Structure 1
Amino acid sequence: MPRTASVDDAREVLAEDGVVRIPGAGLDPECLVVTAARVLGGRLRELFGIRPQGGTDSPALGLHNDGAYLQGDVHGRTVRLRDPDEDYLLMHCTSPAPSGGDSVLVDGYALVDRLATDHPELHAFVTGADTDFFGTRVDPPRGVPATPLLRRMVEYTRGGRRAVRASDYALPVPRVPEWDEHLARIEEYADLLATASEAAPRFRMDSGDLLILDNYRFLHGRDAFSGSRTLHVLSVRTTEAF
């Protein structure tokens, strides 16, 4: 469960825990930008647009980490509108759903460390084999490059920071000789994440709550909900990102 802190204390808690919950942030999602600047400070390199992530009567959302492969042409220059390696995620709740919608977090670092002893073959795959991270999106939406994005589920930045990933769209690398074996490992990893999600404790984001998490460390999801829920998300990159 994420610890609660004021904006003034949030930087310290985030550094220690990888996640912090800030209550009473107000109802305007613009607070996401101000809070990102106050908590991340001079490390903040790039902000992507605030995007709505609420909705009405939505099914459960499985464990994942944020990041998208989205490009556009701006004055003849290719610009990333989103980045696959966004390293911090800020979520702001304006109004929770009347029923359901509880959030779930799983510490990816602890999960992968446990894999090393309990499931060494799966650990070897997620740390040592490339995947086609968005492989099942064979007809990608406008702005999504068709070139496969190859990456491992667990990687390290040049500064030594570990990134643990999850993708509902992952497939083996095209034409890899071990296709069937790799597909089985990807499915095994997905099953493990589903089990971890079921076992993890839930918490509810109330009106005005703002959550900041290390997107390289924590996988997040939520329960299904009925009624309407208003939530906005801001993902960023810092100087410690890939």
Structure 2
Amino acid sequence: MPIARLEPHDDFLRVHFAEDEGPRHADFHWFWLRHNSELDRHPTTRERIVCSSELPLGLRPRGVKVSEDASSLDLDWGDRADGQVSRYAAEWLRAHAYAADRGLVPPPPSDSASITVHSSQVREPLVPFALARLREEGAVVVRGFGKDTEALIDLFGAAGLAVIETHFGRIEDLRTDNTTNRNTDQLGYTDSAVQLHTDQPFLARPPRYQLLHCQRPAEQGGENSVVDGLAAARYLESLDASAFELLRTVPVTFHRKQAAFEKVLVSPLLDFDAPGGFRIRYSYFTLAPHRVPFATMEAWYRAYNRFATLVRDERHQLRFRLEAGDFLVYDNWRMLHARTSFTGARWLRGVYFDER
């Protein structure tokens, strides 16, 4: 019953078996493998001499390989002065496979080419084409449209979207010297980095889509990134069902307080029952102090932090830079977005839309 190949992941190891009978593959958490190492048993009685509580949950091996005859798996944990490795027979792994033939849920995508088109290469009406890509992928970047935002608004209007005015106004001029908008005392009008978030999570119905239309790029920095929040939620569910359930069920408070505007909403981060479909509310800068039950607080923070670590991993982000005339449209119910800090007179125009 030889091992065909190994497939290491961040949290677990997938072992593929060569024979057809039984499971074709099985997944094992790194921590589970470390806890079940034969190195941690008494040499005479073969009883455990190490409790799992003595081992850090973040354990990862230094080396992973299949033995020369493919009959076993060798893991070097890097913590043995004698250089010994943990050996797991293929038959033993198959017999103790607690996740045999488990399906693999993909992480959020990271290839920005999948959401990018150039306006000169689209041989059909541009905005309907962009909207079709948006609804499939959650976001679309269009290069080389030009800088006429009103013309772009008219095209989206003709395609069935309506502009949603917010407490900032009809069109946001996202620039550090803004003189055209209300309520500019927030991060978007500075040159600071704005980490991943969704917009307007404190509204009962946040705007569905946002357009970001580049008028002038930064001299340095100012790159954008988006993350598929729905894919991230499903990926988290496949790794940590308890964390997923806490983010889906425990309500927290979003509180936007500015000099001339204030709004509060209580909701879980992940809402699969919202009218119109899935909705994620994720905004570190508008989260109020949590008031969840005492016995839930630490567990909720662990769940939130695991999700935050997942989406902040650049391997799970679509990253790009908008140049003058380019625009991004993303689904604000599904996608998280961010920008890096910048220098220079960067200017993007922001418009919210919803279905008519």
1:63 — aligned with what?
196
What residue number does 1:9 align with? 129
Instruction: Between 223-232 and 149-158, report the one with greater CA deviation.
Output: 149-158
**What does residue 17 of structure 2 align with?**
none
Assess if the C-alpha contact under 8 Å between 1:172 and 1:182 holds in 2.
Answer: no
Matches within 5 A, 1:53-202: 53-55=174-176, 58-67=191-200, 69=202, 85-134=206-255, 140-145=258-263, 148-159=264-275, 161-168=277-284, 169-171=286-288, 174=291, 176-178=293-295, 180-181=297-298, 184-185=301-302, 188=305, 191-192=308-309, 195-197=312-314, 200-202=317-319
When residues 45 and 37 of structure 1 are mapped into structure 2, their CA distance, relative to the original with a 3 A threshold, is: same
Residues 116 and 183 (structure 1 numbering): CA distance in 2 closer, same or farther, change over 3 Å?
Answer: closer
Aligned twin of 2:149: 29
Compared CA separation, residues 60 and 194, structure 1 to 2 (3 A): farther
Alpha-carbon offset, residue 8 of structure 1: 4.4
For 2:116, give the aligned amino acid: R
Q: Is the 8 A contact 2:201 2:254 kept in 1?
A: no
**Against the structure 1 CA distance between its residues 199 and 112, is the aligned structure 2 distance closer, same or farther, given a 3 Å change threshold?**
closer
Displacement after TM superposition at 1:141 (Å): 2.9
Partners of 1:166 and 1:205 in 2: CA distance: 23
Contact 2:214 2:322 (C-alpha < 8 Å) held by counterparts = yes
Distance between the aligned counterparts of 1:45 and 1:224, measured in 2? 28
> Structure 1 residues 98, 127: closer, same or farther in 2, change over 3 A?
same
2:349 matches 1:232 = yes
TM-score scaled to structure 1, two decimals? 0.77
- Does structure 2 conserve the Cα–Cα contact (< 8 Å) formed by 1:23 and 1:210? yes
Runs (5+) with no aligned partner, structure 1: 70-81
* Sequence identity percentage: 25
Shift of 1:50: 0.5
CA contact (8 A) 1:106 1:196 kept: no
Shift of 1:164: 1.6
Counting matched residue pairs gives 220
- In the alignment, the residues of structure 2 paired with residue 175 and residue 164 of structure 1 have an alpha-carbon distance, to the nearest angstrom, of 19
Q: How many Å separate the matches in 1 of 2:304 and 2:346? A: 31
Aligned-partner Cα distance in 2 for 1:172–1:118: 27
Structure 2 stretches of 5 or more lacking a match? 1-111, 178-189
The answer (yes or no) to whether the contact 2:198–2:335 under 8 Å persists in 1 is: yes
- 1:238 and 1:83 map into 2 onto residues whose CA distance is 16
Instruction: Kindly provide the amino acid, as one letter, of the partner of residue 63 in structure 1.
Output: L
Native 8 Å contact 1:51 1:233 kept in 2: yes
Q: Distance in 1 between matches of 2:293 and 2:287?
A: 14
Q: Could you tell me how far apart the structure 1 residues matched to 2:135 and 2:253 are?
A: 31
How far apart are 1:118 and its partner, in Å? 1.4
Q: CA deviation at 1:122?
A: 1.7
Determine if contact 1:150/1:173 at 8 Å carries over to the other structure: no
**Bigger fraction of residues in strand:** 1
8 A contact 1:32–1:92 mirrored in 2:
no
Tell me whether 200-209 or 26-35 shows the greater mean CA deviation. Answer: 26-35
The alpha carbon displacement at 1:183 in A equals: 5.8
